[in-house]
Amino acid sequence: MNPTNTTVAVGTHLPPLALPPISRTTLALFAGASGDHNPIHIDLDNARSAGFDDVFAQGMLSMAYLGRLLTDWVPQAQLRSFATRFVAITPIHAQPTCTGSVVAVDEQTATLDLTVTLADGTVTLAGRAVITHPTTAHPNS
């Protein structure tokens, strides 16, 4: 679903993206695919030696999920900026949900607030994105 100018208004909510629980397999695949080989996310011994009870998800995995939320909503060429703070750790087996809403609109752009929340209510990522309206998207190549 791509919103048109007329459907992007302050208060518009993006369709939420609910993810399955984070498994150790997910973390291992994301380590390889993302190039982040930090063992704290994939090696229990390493996580414990750093003072954690268990491995936890890469922050960039959750940011990638937020990226899916955005590109499910608008073509990527309309994305101008995308920023997140990693405000809490995502434990193994946690179940994240991505949400977003429009908080400002002007003639050229719309600003979105973005959140990743776990099933227990913990907010793990808080972010913001700016998208342009379709007519001012940059070219694909």
Binding residues for another protein, per CB under 8 A?
19-20, 26, 29-30, 32-38, 40, 46, 49-52, 56-65, 67-68, 70-72, 75-77, 79-90, 123, 126, 138-141
Pairing mode of beta strands 97-105, 109-117: antiparallel
Q: What's the closest the beta carbon of residue 88 comes to another protein, in angstroms?
A: 5
CA atoms within 13 A on the CB side of 104: 8
Choice between 9 and 50, CB closer to another protein: 50
- The dihedrals phi and psi of 91, each to the nearest 5 degrees, come to -70, 160
Choice between 8 and 73, CB closer to another protein: 73
Burial class (CB within 10 angstroms; exposed 0-12, middle 13-18, buried 19+) of 45: exposed
Q: What's the closest the beta carbon of residue 105 comes to another protein, in angstroms?
A: 18
Choice between 8 and 59, CB closer to another protein: 59
